[in-house]
């Protein structure tokens, strides 16, 4: 994987995801402790707690350095073209994680650099999140392959990467969204094309049907970053998809609950569920660091 870009979860093969999850588990339990002397750049056009801090901690734990390239204090935020910024950063740093709106911006960074570009969230995908989710599911059920997982909420970035990652890992993925908030049909088609090892993709607007027998209930905010003005009007539309105790009661009795965070209690998830015994959201958040450390080790080609 050395030198590769990861702009979407499907830039990784099923085998590479499996290897990353194995490496992440070994990094987590300390059986592997690779070190490096590399520099990670973080260029985030949107707010972030988990992605920013977990990447920074992961890099520091590897012995590397991190440069925060906040667009508010770099020229790219004042209109310097991505093509120029990318070619310059390419000469200074070893790997770059970008959080942005348009997937095309990530593609442009990748086009103008030799170093690996990582998608740290775009409007289309959130691949790093999904690696952590898969690691969490693997820890809970022993394997991700064959598990049934339901995403409830808006059919955008997190849902997209979850569908694609699940398809690559042989999961039965159900996505329940209100009509009008469906995942991108091109991503659904891609997920169906990538499906291996018994993977299935189901898209529905029926949340109860979607969670029946499901081992994982996964949700995300109803209004993503950049959609703050739509938040209020979306509440009644998304209400039937709230992950609450009643909905959880329709899932498998051993089901776990995931949320990429940040959470809005009382909207997409209730206080009782996020703080309840089936919630694994804090392990999931921790796993961001282990999964991304595995990604950094692999993309930088660090011997471990
Ligand atoms: N889940 C996630 O990406 O969180 P942040 O926005 O805090 O990075
Ligand atoms: N869908 C959310 C995910 C946040 C981690 C957003 O894009 O804001």
Query: Is there a catalytic annotation at residue 129?
Result: yes
- Are residues 236 and 292 located together in one domain of the fold? no
260 lines ligand 1 (CB under 6 A): yes
CA distance 220 to 281: 11
Q: Which residue has the tokens 């569920």?
A: 273
Q: How far is the CA of 169 from the centre of ligand 2 (A)?
A: 23
pLDDT tens digits, one per residue of 166-220: 999 999 999 999 999 999 999 999 999 999 999 999 999 999 999 999 999 999 9
Distances (CA, A) of 201 to 74, 171, 176, 178: 42, 8, 11, 17
- Are residues 89 and 163 located together in one domain of the fold? no
CA distance 297 to 276: 34
Strand-pair partners of 259:
219
pLDDT tens digits, one per residue of 265-302: 999 999 999 999 999 999 999 999 999 999 999 999 99
- Any domain includes 167: yes
Give me the torsion for CA of 293, 299, 303, 304, rounded to 10°: 30
CA distance 302 to 34: 7
Query: Which pLDDT band holds residue 48 (cuts at 50, 70, 90)?
Result: very high
Q: Name, in order, each residue with C-beta under 8 angstroms of 81's C-beta and a sequence gap of 6 or more.
A: none
* Nearest to 240, CA basis, from 271, 211, 278: 211
- Any domain includes 242: yes
Domains in the chain: how many in total?
2
Determine the structural domain holding residue 46 and report its residue range. 9-125+288-300
Q: Which residue has the tokens 């000469």?
A: 91
- Are residues 21 and 73 located together in one domain of the fold? yes
- Are residues 263 and 120 located together in one domain of the fold? no
- Any domain includes 1: no
Q: Where are the alpha helices (DSSP H) in 94-214?
A: 103-111, 127-141, 157-168, 185-194, 207-211
- Are residues 193 and 261 located together in one domain of the fold? yes
Atom of ligand 1 nearest to the CA of 261: 1
Query: Is there a catalytic annotation at residue 288?
Result: yes
Atom 3 in ligand 2: residue holding the nearest Cα: 224
- Any domain includes 2: no
Q: To test the ligand 2 pocket, which listed residue (260, 263, 269) has its Cβ within 8 A of the most ligand atoms? A: 260
Query: Is there a catalytic annotation at residue 78?
Result: no
Residue 13's Cβ-side half-sphere holds a number of Cα atoms within 13 Å equal to: 4
Task: State the DSSP code for 243.
Answer: B
pLDDT tens digits, one per residue of 222-279: 999 999 999 999 999 999 999 999 999 999 999 999 999 999 999 999 999 999 999 9
Residue 18's Cβ-side half-sphere holds a number of Cα atoms within 13 Å equal to: 11
The ligand placed nearest to the CA atom of residue 219 is 2
Tokens representing residue 229 in the block: 């003005």
Tokens representing residue 61 in the block: 């734990």
């Amino acid at each position: 994987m050395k030198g590769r870009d990861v702009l979407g979860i499907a830039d990784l093969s099923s085998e590479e995801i499996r290897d990353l999850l194995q490496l992440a588990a070994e990094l987590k339990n300390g059986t592997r402790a690779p070190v490096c002397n590399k520099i990670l750049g973080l260029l985030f056009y949107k707010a972030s707690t988990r992605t920013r801090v977990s990447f920074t901690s992961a890099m520091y734990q590897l012995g590397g350095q991190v440069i925060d390239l906040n667009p508010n204090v770099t020229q790219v935020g004042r209109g310097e073209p991505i093509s120029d910024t990318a070619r310059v950063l390419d000469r200074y740093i070893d790997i770059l994680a970008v959080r942005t709106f348009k997937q095309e911006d990530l593609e442009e960074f990748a086009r103008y650099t030799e170093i690996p570009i990582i998608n740290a969230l775009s409007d289309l995908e959130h691949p790093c999140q999904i690696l952590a989710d898969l690691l969490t599911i693997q820890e809970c059920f022993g394997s991700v392959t064959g598990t049934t997982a339901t995403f409830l909420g808006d059919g955008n970035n997190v849902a997209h990467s979850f569908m694609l990652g699940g398809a690559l890992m042989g999961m039965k993925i159900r996505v329940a969204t209100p009509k009008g908030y469906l995942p991108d049909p091109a991503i659904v088609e891609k997920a169906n094309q990538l499906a291996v090892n018994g993977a299935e993709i189901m898209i529905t607007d029926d949340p109860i049907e979607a969670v029946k027998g499901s081992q994982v209930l996964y949700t995300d905010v109803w209004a993503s970053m950049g959609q703050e003005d739509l938040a209020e009007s979306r509440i009644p539309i998304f209400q039937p998809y709230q992950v609450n105790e009643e909905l959880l009661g329709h899932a498998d009795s051993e089901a776990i609950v995931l949320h990429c965070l940040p959470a809005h209690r009382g909207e997409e998830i209730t206080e009782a569920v996020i703080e309840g015994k089936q919630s694994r959201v804090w392990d999931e958040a921790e796993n961001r660091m282990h999964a991304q450390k595995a990604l950094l080790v692999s993309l930088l080609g660090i011997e471990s």
